[in-house]
């Protein structure tokens, strides 16, 4: 797909690579150069983008997601003409306005008025146009009373508001937005959303770098997941958002399957050998929201034991106990076990935990008075719940809305209707 | 990027000139220059008046010392006018190149966030200095009339040395601004070079004083493009020793001219090569 893009394609990126050279011994003075003319500067190269290709159709919103350092901003800067790509071709259609890393490049010593003029012209307006639009830019940013203040006296939120306001007033058909909506107060964020929604309705093309998967799902038509400068997933926004959550939470801790847990201090005749998390296909370290899954532990008895109680609990990343269960409340008895016997305990449930990382802890207790702990395994394993329905609660219980006019009876939520 | 809204265009990354959209280039340059001009005297009571007062006060001091105390201008007609013109031309060169050194680094926030023709940055610096020079030349003109210099046809040729000075200063500024992105000790070096050039150029002392001591020395001094431009400007303004007189031949004028063109070309070359990577190196 190299060469001039077909009609209807607003952004065409074809095999773009970018490598940064990072001298490990920075030679930035002539003296060092002169004293060590033959010393070769050791240069570490950082491959920020490798062979990235994608297309965005006109009028679409395209999300770019990835962890810090995955190359998102580098890609945006290449598209914006700030960095030169080492290889590949990039084609754009329509006037482009960039909004890179929280701003469009303000001069802190100038007033909002002068900065608006400079940036309007930078983004393609004529000075006369920039002057004519100054009023509506300040209006939109709600910064009237601060218009004659130098930018260095602005709060970061105010600067972003001004920058965003400039960007949406330059009649660009293509917006490159790198993490803007994270800053600014709630009211202004809503305003930004409204503008972006309107821009989309007007047929403008938007490339959006964000860490907010909810935003990706609600706002983007398609998306791309970058990791170490490469495309991991490209396509459906919901799918990309899920992959991102998995990647983000699942990368640092490897699956603990097969690893025997050390005996803890208080162990008394019982040892929790292993604990894990599994879905319908078997042990795993991540599961999608809503899917059936199970918390499991393998227990070895070192002495005979009658009717022990098994308990499992799940903590979220903030150490809040999100879910806890104990076999004590179960109708069935746990049974009698001989020394040397190894059993597996599993608690299965439909996974309605909120997206995020969780850790699993298991306990074996003595039935009856005192609930003496016989074996314990804290943080035995961790797993990730992926999904993008982040309502903000600890769990996302299946639910349904019913909205009734006044005077009409409110019907109870239909049973089993998952949201 | 030069955007043709209807058609697709290829993003080639940053460059010095940005692919030839002259309208945008000029709009950017004058907008940056205008705001620079504004911010310069921001908060000072007299504002722009300072850009006139400062060189005039300096000139007053220098004139007093060198005509009354040292008597450097003894026997030279219109020494005051010559001194003022030379100082103002040299200040222009010093302003363009001195501000030019840090121009790219000062504009870092812009360079790292917007794609625009990089040469706009040093050119806007030169434009600000040129605006300042224009104001100062008004003062020179007043002084010329007040000193009783008779109008002459050669005044029509004065734009030539002025234009050459503008070109040379801009070329040097582009060279320095590009180098400074990578080598940060350009700035202290250049401060010293500017001082040395000031004393190596016949500004405080008239070229006649040098010729009186050694004609060779005078010739060497005038191979410096700045000295040559100032000397020729002086000749066109009030007469007296012309550049070819002082050099002893017309063909020797080619030397400062070649230096001027060479350095300017080098400045454009170096800047052009640095421009695409400027945002990464800053």
B276 close to A (CB below 8 A) = yes
With a cut of 50, list the residues of chain A below it in pLDDT: 1, 251-258, 416-419
Length of chain A: 419
Instruction: Identify the DSSP state of B3.
Output: -
Task: Dump pLDDT digits (tens) for B220-266.
Answer: 999 999 999 999 999 999 988 888 888 888 888 999 999 999 999 99
pTM score, whole prediction = 0.73
Residue in B9, B114, B182 nearest the CB of A105: B114
Give the pLDDT band (50/70/90) at residue B49.
confident
Q: Closest approach of chain A CAs to the CA of B277, in angstroms?
A: 7
Q: Which residues of A touch B30 (CB under 8 A)?
A: 127
Across the interface, of A28, A107, A130, the residue whose CB is closest to B182 is: A28
Residue A229 sits in the same domain as residue A359: no
From chain B, the residues in CB contact with A114 under 8 A are 35, 38-39
User: Which residue among A5, A82, A96 places its CB closest to the CB of B112?
Assistant: A82
- Interface contact A82-B115, CB threshold 8 A: yes
Task: Tell whether A25 and A163 lie within a shared domain.
Answer: yes
Angle A314-A318-A319 from CA coordinates, rounded to 5°: 45
Check A81 against B13: CB less than 8 A apart.
Answer: yes
> What is the average per-residue pLDDT within B108-130?
91
Residue of chain B with shortest Cα separation from A171: B5
| Structural domain containing residue A94 | 9-250
Cβ contacts (< 8 Å) between A129 and chain B: which residues?
none
Q: Give the residues across from A213 on adjacent strands.
A: none
pLDDT digits (tens, 9 = 90+) for B58-94: 888 888 888 778 777 777 888 888 999 999 999 999 9
Instruction: Check residue A265 and give its pLDDT.
Output: 65
Is the domain of A197 the same as that of A326? no
Domain presence at residue A405: no
| Mean pLDDT, range B122-130, rounded to an integer | 95
ipTM entry:
0.82
* Residues of chain B with C-beta less than 8 angstroms from the C-beta of A105: 109-114
Whole-angstrom Cα distance, residue A301 to residue B261? 92
Quote the CA–CA distance of A104 and A333 in Å, as a whole number: 67
pLDDT of amino acid A410:
54
Dihedral angle over CA of B240, B246, B251, B252, nearest 10:
-140
- For residues A221 and A306, membership in a common domain is answered with no
Does A262 fall in a domain? no
Residue A2 within any structural domain of the chain: no
> Residues A155, B109, A82, A207: what is their CA dihedral angle, to the nearest 10 degrees?
0
> What pLDDT shows up at residue A413?
55
Closest CA to A139 of A169, A103, A171, A178: A169
- Please give the span between the terminal C-alpha atoms of chain A, in angstroms, as a whole number: 41
Q: How far is CA B142 from CA A104, B2, B37, B154, B158, in A?
A: 44, 44, 23, 18, 16
Which residues of chain B neighbour A1 with C-beta distances below 8 Å?
Answer: none
How far apart CA A192 and CA A211 sit, in angstroms, is 16
pLDDT at B232 (0 to 100): 93
Whether the CB-CB separation of A78 and A18 falls below 8 Å is answered with yes
Instruction: Give me the residues of B, 164-223, that contact A with CB < 8 A.
Output: 182-186, 189
Nearest to B32 by CA among B137, B114, B139: B114
Query: Which residues of chain A make contact with B118, given a CB cutoff of 8 A?
Result: none
Q: Are residues A125 and A196 in the same domain?
A: yes
Note whether A103 contacts B: Cβ–Cβ < 8 A: yes
Indicate whether B50 pLDDT > 90. no
pLDDT in tens, A363-390: 898 877 667 888 888 877 888 888 776 6
Residues 280-319 of A with CB under 8 A from B: none
Same domain, A199 and A318: no
CA dihedral A395, A399, A405, A409 (to 10 degrees): -120
- Asked if the C-beta of A178 comes within 8 angstroms of chain B's C-beta atoms, the answer is no
Domain boundary among A184, A217, A250: A250
* CATH number of A136's domain: 3.40.50.300
Does residue B147 surpass a pLDDT of 80? yes
d(CA A263, CA A260): 9
Whether A207 is covered by a domain: the verdict is: yes
Q: How far is CA B154 from CA B146, B151, B240, B249, B252, in A?
A: 19, 9, 12, 20, 21
A411 within some domain? no
**Residues of chain A neighbouring B13 (CB-CB closer than 8 A):** 78, 81, 83-85
pLDDT at B46: 76
Q: Across chain A, which distance is largest between two alpha carbons, in Å?
A: 90
Do residues A180 and A168 make contact, with C-beta atoms less than 8 angstroms apart?
A: no
Of A94, A105, A127, the CB nearest to B110: A105
Residue A369: predicted pLDDT: 64
Look at chain A and report how many structural domains it folds into: 2
Q: Classify residue A110: in a domain, yes or no.
A: yes
pLDDT of residue A285: 80
Determine whether the interchain pair A81/B1 forms a contact, defined as Cβ–Cβ distance below 8 Å.
yes
Mean per-residue pLDDT over chain A, rounded = 82
Residues B90-109: tens digit of each pLDDT: 999 999 999 999 999 988 88
Residue in chain B closest to A167 (alpha carbons) equals B114
């Amino acid at each position: 797909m190299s060469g001039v893009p077909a009609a209807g394609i607003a952004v065409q990126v074809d095999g773009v690579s970018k490598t940064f050279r990072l001298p490990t011994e920075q030679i930035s003075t002539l003296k060092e150069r002169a004293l060590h003319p033959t010393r070769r500067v050791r240069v570490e190269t950082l491959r920020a983008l490798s062979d990235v290709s994608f297309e965005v159709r006109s009028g679409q919103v395209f999300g770019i997601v990835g962890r810090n350092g995955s190359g998102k901003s580098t890609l945006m800067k290449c598209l914006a003409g700030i960095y030169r790509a080492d290889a590949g071709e990039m084609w754009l259609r329509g006037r482009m306005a960039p909004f890179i890393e929280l701003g469009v490049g303000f001069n802190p010593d100038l007033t909002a008025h002068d900065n608006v003029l400079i940036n309007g012209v930078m983004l393609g307006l004529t000075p006369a146009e920039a002057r004519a639009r100054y009023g509506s830019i300040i209006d939109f940013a709600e910064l009237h009373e601060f218009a004659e203040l130098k930018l260095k006296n602005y709060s970061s939120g105010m600067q972003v508001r001004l920058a965003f306001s400039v960007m949406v007033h330059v009649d660009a058909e293509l917006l490159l937005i790198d993490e803007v909506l994270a800053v600014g107060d709630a009211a202004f964020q809503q305003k930004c959303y409204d503008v972006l929604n309107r821009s989309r309705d007007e047929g403008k093309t938007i490339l959006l770098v964000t860490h907010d998967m909810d935003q990706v799902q609600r706002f983007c038509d398609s998306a791309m997941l970058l990791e170490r400068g490469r495309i991991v997933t490209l396509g459906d926004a919901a799918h990309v958002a899920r992959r991102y959550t998995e990647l983000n939470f699942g990368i640092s801790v490897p699956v603990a399957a097969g690893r025997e847990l050390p005996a803890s201090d208080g162990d008394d005749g019982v040892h929790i050998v292993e604990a894990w998390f599994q879905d319908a296909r078997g042990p795993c370290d991540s599961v999608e929201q809503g899917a059936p899954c199970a918390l499991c532990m393998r227990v070895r008895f070192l002495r005979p034991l009658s009717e022990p109680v098994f308990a499992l609990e799940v903590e979220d990343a903030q150490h809040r106990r999100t879910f806890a269960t104990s076999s004590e409340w179960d109708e069935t008895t746990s049974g009698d076990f001989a020394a040397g016997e190894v059993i597996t305990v599993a608690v299965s449930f439909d996974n309605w935990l909120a997206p995020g990382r969780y850790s699993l802890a298991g306990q074996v207790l003595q039935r009856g008075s005192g609930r003496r702990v016989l074996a314990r395994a804290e943080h035995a394993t961790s797993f990730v719940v992926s999904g993008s329905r982040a309502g903000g609660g600890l769990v996302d219980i299946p639910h349904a809305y019913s909205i009734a006019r006044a005077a009409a009876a409110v019907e109870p939520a239909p049973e089993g209707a998952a949201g | 990027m030069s955007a043709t809204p209807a058609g697709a265009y290829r993003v080639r990354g940053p460059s010095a000139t940005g692919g030839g959209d002259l309208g945008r280039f000029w709009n950017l340059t004058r907008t940056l220059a205008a705001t620079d001009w504004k911010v310069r005297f921001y908060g000072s009571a007299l504002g722009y008046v300072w850009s006139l007062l400062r060189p005039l006060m300096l000139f007053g001091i220098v004139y007093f010392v060198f005509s009354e105390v040292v008597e450097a201008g003894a026997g030279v007609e219109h020494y005051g006018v010559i001194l003022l013109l030379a100082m103002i031309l040299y200040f222009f060169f010093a302003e363009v190149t001195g501000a030019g050194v840090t121009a790219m680094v000062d504009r870092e926030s812009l360079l790292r966030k917007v794609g625009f023709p990089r040469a706009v940055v040093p050119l806007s610096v030169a434009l600000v200095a040129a605006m300042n020079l224009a104001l100062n030349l008004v003062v020179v003109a007043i002084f010329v009339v007040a000193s009783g210099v008779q109008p002459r046809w050669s005044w029509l040729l004065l734009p030539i040395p002025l234009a050459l000075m503008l070109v040379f200063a801009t070329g040097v500024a582009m060279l320095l601004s590009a180098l400074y992105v990578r080598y940060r000790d350009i700035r202290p070096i250049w401060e010293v070079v500017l001082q040395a050039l000031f004393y190596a150029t016949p500004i405080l002392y008239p070229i006649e004083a040098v010729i009186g001591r050694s004609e060779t020395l005078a010739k060497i001094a005038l191979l410096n493009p700045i000295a040559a431009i100032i000397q020729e400007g002086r000749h066109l303004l009030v007469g007296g020793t012309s550049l070819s007189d002082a050099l002893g031949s017309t063909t020797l004028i080619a030397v400062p001219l070649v230096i001027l063109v060479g350095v300017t070309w080098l400045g454009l070359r170096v800047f052009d090569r640095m421009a695409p990577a400027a945002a990464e190196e800053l």
